Structure 1
Amino acid sequence: MKPKFLALSLLLLMGCSTTKLVGTWKNPDIVLFDASQVLVVGMAQDDNVRMEFETRFVEELKKQGVDGVRSIDVFDVEFTSSERSEQELAKVEEQLLDKDFDAILFTKVVGTENRKTLKERMNNVDKLFVRFSNDYLEHQEIYYDPSYYDSFNIYHLETSLYCICIGKERELIWRGNVDVTEPVNIEKAMDTYIKLITKAMGEQEVIF
């Protein structure tokens, strides 16, 4: 793997020849979940990758009648450049609530096969995060630690939908897991991944 790619966390965004939805989970207490304004978070150290992914995801949401907002337009540079506390993240969540956000769509790489090195905490890729703050805090090093990943072949990605509901924790509404192999083309990879996720959410009556 070339050194210039070590800074990326959403490695699927370099492109792929195979993108497969391998599983979904929906909160059994939720029958329908509508959202009018969604914050789209794509965890990546490379700002260009992050911007491109979030932009394309927002565009797809708008096609479905949902107002999406990129996290790159909400989180300032300083916020994602270093480790944040649970208290700081709680403040951000309250600000989102005040701005009438309904949900957060959170995408990240959670693991890989045929890897050389990976942070020890990623060994348990099946861990279920039911709160946005826990999920973010567990993986926030993706933004600023260049040694977080080393060499990958098959990437396991995850998109989680959290509600922003008055009087409630930012609980998990839906989660989709996708496997990506053989990075090749960035534009095709982004579009394929986003359409796969939005289609799955629509079929399970989430957001759309």
Structure 2
Amino acid sequence: MRRNFHFPTRAFLSFLSMLLVGAGLYGCAPSTRITGTWKNPEVGNRDYDRIVVAAITDNIRARQTVETDMQTQLQQRGITAIRSMDLLPPTVSEDGPDVNKLLQKIKDQDYGAILTVALLDEETETRYVPGNYGYAPVTRFGWYGRFRGYYTYWLPTLYEPGYYTEEKIYFLETNLYDVHTENLLWSAQSKSYSPASLRKASETLAELTASRMAQENLIK
């Protein structure tokens, strides 16, 4: 089945633009993992050595970050990679980059594939964090060995009540398209739990993506 390369609407923001809002609000360590991949059976063992990276977002900082990190990971594997923002710089247009102009520039420079990153969905998960308590029994007192004395003279217990916290879960999709046919070659879905920083999440996603693409013989 033919799958055409396309840009989603502005409402379909990239995961990294959402990170700019969430960064610093969540103290837990970021956790990003690929949950599944699909490879077009028509691809075979062909690998691509000239790839354009395109982060689909209207947030310039997020676009720059994810495209740069993906480019770096691909270049470390011997791939000629370029950011889409270097081919078609950001504009003030509300409709985003002109896909026809971008494709033409990509073809003119003889790139073979386009790697996109976009947000599919996000969820908020509420969980209960139990509190901590502790005590320091002083057994030298006689009353400690009998219930009445123990209950009456109980050493004050330090108690920290539990609380509820919310965590963001981001569902991402990374796609690889052939430039000339515009067909979908490979797709990966991943999750990121309450990422604490834009930079860390972007670097992790780029590293995981490049590694999996190499494992599936799409790049060197």
Looking at structure 2, the residues matched to 178 and 69 of structure 1 have their Cα atoms a distance apart, in angstroms, of 23
Match of 2:66 among 49, 53, 58: 53
Q: Which runs of 5+ in 2 are unaligned?
A: 1-12, 126-165
2:53: which partner in 1? Answer: 40
Aligned-residue CA RMSD in angstroms? Answer: 2.6
Q: d(CA) in 2 for partners of 1:12 and 1:73?
A: 23
CA contact (8 A) 1:106 1:160 kept: yes
Q: 1:184: which partner in 2?
A: 196
Q: Per residue, is there more strand in 1 or in 2?
A: 2
Deviation readout 1:44-68 (Å, 9 max, x if unpaired): 2221221122111111111100011
Counterpart in 2 of 1:119? none
Equivalent residue number for residue 159 of structure 1:
174
In the superposition, the TM-score normalised over structure 2's length comes to 0.65
Listed as ranges, the matches of 1:84-103 within 5 Å are 89-103=99-113
For structure 1, the 5+ residue unaligned runs are 1-6, 116-150
Q: Matches of 1:20 and 1:70 in 2, distance apart?
A: 23
Query: 1:12 touches 1:180 (CA, 8 Å); kept in 2?
Result: no
Letter in 1 for 2:82: V
Indicate the SS of the match to 2:67.
helix
Identity %: 28
Among 167, 182, 189, the alignment partner of 1:170 is 182
1:92 shift after superposition: 3.0
Residue of 9, 30, 41 corresponding to 2:43: 30
For these two proteins, the number of residue pairs brought into alignment is 161
Secondary structure of the structure 2 residue equivalent to 1:110: strand
Q: Is 2:117 the partner of 1:114? A: no
Whichever of the two has the greater Rg, that structure is: 2
Under a length normalisation based on structure 1, what TM-score does the superposition of the two structures give? 0.68
Deviations 1:173-193 (A, max 9, x none): 101100011121232211211
| Cα distance in structure 2, aligned partners of 1:77 and 1:188 | 24
Deviating more after overlay: 22-31 vs 39-48: 39-48
Contact 2:65–2:199 (CA under 8 A) maintained in structure 1: no
- Cα distance in 2 for residues equivalent to 1:191 and 1:92: 25
Relative to structure 1, the CA distance from residue 72 to residue 95 in structure 2 (aligned partners, 3 Å threshold; closer, same or farther) is closer
